[in-house]
């Protein structure tokens, strides 16, 4: 699919921890449970005390009451009973991760993400962990150590030592453990084609052991064909239902919350279209990239996804004909409309190769709800008016 955007796939904490474990990052032993009785068995198996943790694809579970300590298997069952089915910011808890509880002395924060402006992976590390990292960045910016890694040179151990030193860790055993974890997190990042790897908190136990107590791992779905095991981890049911439908149909679609459905050919043009709709005072309902082609089936699939959103009041096609000629796209649109019979107003802007022929085809089709425009700005204005 040409021009396809990377889509972020979030993994559950327990999945991220499983990957951490494989790459040698220390994690606590745990079991997944989908029923309270399973949580009791898991606790008995692991040996209490345990911590019962809601598995949802959103952060701040602790504050929301989704993480609880249990001193016995019975208590683990009771806590799981409370947590399962809980709604955490729109995410219903379907499973809990029961793990051996840690005695925490200190909580640190370590992450690795892409810094797009520098075009390099960026480590962030601070001894002020356990809380929102945005809060640390805002209130104690000096406590947050940042370090870029040149992706061509790869990671070097001195970089981990520098993070540890600049953050002010002076215990030698702790320095050694954190440095090793930093290097392994880089391996996870590369090996899992991640967009984000975050450990918050990275804890030091009362025994002086450093361990990942939480995991947030986001991978790039463009890479999943190379990583079948991680592809299996993806939870399609947790995603937006429209986005799930789009994925099924191979449509590049991101739901937004406005009322003007947006389709473009090419990711860059489609993004500009979303911006222009906003610029003229409208609210885009989605981002949808038709890719390079304008074949009828692609248009049908895209329209089916877009119009499944009940908020959509008008549709704006923004097409720039390059290799794909505008008359071909126009034929595709007409064929698609013939197949699915839409009543919503549709504005089509065609520009580029054979634009005039394309517009003539659309005009001659004589559909009352079909409007053509020659510029992106006029098209956007018209679509916004028609949505009102
Ligand atoms: P989040 O709230 O979704 O980020 O979930 P976390 O996994 O980061 O847990 C939140 C907080 O719960 C941590 O910062 C810890 O303070 C606490 N917590 C989690 N696991 C344990 C544990 O094993 N022992 C103790 N004592 N506290 C824990
Ligand atoms: Mn956390």
* Positive or negative: CA dihedral 355, 356, 357, 361: positive
CA nearest 263: which of 294, 288, 300? 288
Residue 23 in this model has a pLDDT that exceeds 90: yes
Residue 254 in this model has a pLDDT that exceeds 60: yes
Whether residue 213 has its Cβ less than 6 Å from ligand 1 = yes
15-19, 22-26, 364-368: segment of lowest average pLDDT: 364-368
CA of 101 to the centre of ligand 1 (A): 9
Residue 179 in this model has a pLDDT that exceeds 90: yes
Ligand whose nearest atom lies closest to the CA of 213? 1
Band of pLDDT at residue 238, cut at 50, 70 and 90: low
Query: How high does pLDDT run on average in the chain?
Result: 92
Angle at 261 between CA 255 and CA 262, to 5 degrees: 90
**226: its two tokens:** 């190379």
Q: How far apart are CA 208 and CA 205, in angstroms?
A: 5
Q: Which residue out of 213, 215, 216, 217 has the highest number of ligand 1 atoms within 8 Å of its CB and is therefore the one to mutate? A: 213
The catalytic residue among 128, 198, 328, 373 is 198
30-34, 83-87, 219-223, 355-359: segment of lowest average pLDDT: 219-223
**In terms of pLDDT, which residue wins out, 322 or 284?**
284
The pLDDT assigned to 233 comes to 87
Q: How far apart are CA 84 and CA 56, in angstroms?
A: 11
Residue 5 in this model has a pLDDT that exceeds 70: no
Does this model's pTM top 0.75?
no
Q: What is the mean pLDDT of residues 359-365?
A: 92
67-71, 79-83, 202-206, 230-234: segment of lowest average pLDDT: 230-234
Tell me, yes or no, if 109 is annotated catalytic: yes
């Amino acid at each position: 699919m040409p021009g396809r955007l990377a889509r972020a796939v979030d993994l559950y904490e327990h999945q991220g921890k499983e990957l951490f474990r494989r790459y040698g990052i220390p994690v606590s032993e745990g079991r997944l449970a989908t029923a309270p009785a399973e949580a009791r068995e898991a606790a008995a198996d692991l040996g209490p005390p345990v911590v019962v943790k809601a598995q949802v694809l959103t952060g701040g579970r602790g504050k929301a009451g989704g993480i609880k300590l249990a001193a016995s298997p019975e208590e683990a069952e009771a806590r799981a009973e409370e947590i399962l089915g809980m709604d955490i910011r729109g995410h219903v808890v379907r499973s809990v991760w029961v793990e051996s509880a840690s005695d925490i002395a200190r909580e640190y924060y370590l992450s690795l993400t892409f810094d797009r402006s520098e075009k390099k992976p960026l480590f962030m590390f601070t001894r002020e962990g356990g809380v929102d990292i945005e809060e640390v960045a805002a209130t104690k910016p000096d406590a947050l150590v940042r370090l870029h890694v040149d992706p061509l040179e790869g990671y070097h151990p001195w970089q981990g030592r520098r993070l540890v030193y600049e953050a002010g860790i002076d215990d030698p055993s702790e320095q050694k453990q954190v440095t090793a974890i930093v290097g392994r997190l880089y391996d996870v990042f590369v090996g899992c084609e991640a967009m984000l790897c975050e450990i918050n908190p990275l804890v030091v136990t009362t025994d002086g052991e450093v361990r990942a107590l939480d995991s947030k791992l986001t991978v790039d779905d463009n890479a999943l064909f190379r990583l079948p095991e991680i592809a299996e981890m993806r939870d399609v049911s947790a995603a937006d239902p429209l986005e799930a439908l789009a994925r099924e149909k191979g449509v590049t679609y991101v739901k937004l919350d406005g009322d003007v459905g947006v389709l473009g050919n090419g990711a860059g043009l489609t993004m500009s279209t979303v911006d222009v709709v906003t610029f003229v005072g409208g609210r885009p309902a989605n981002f949808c990239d038709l890719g390079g082609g304008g074949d009828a089936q692609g248009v049908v699939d895209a329209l089916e996804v877009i119009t499944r959103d009940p908020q959509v009041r008008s549709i704006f096609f923004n097409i720039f004909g390059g290799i794909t000629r505008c008359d071909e796209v126009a034929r595709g649109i007409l064929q698609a409309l013939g197949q699915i019979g839409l009543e919503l107003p549709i504005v089509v802007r065609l520009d580029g190769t054979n634009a005039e022929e394309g517009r003539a085809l659309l005009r001659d089709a004589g559909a009352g709800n079909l409007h053509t425009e020659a510029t992106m700005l006029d098209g956007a204005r018209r679509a916004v008016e028609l949505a009102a």
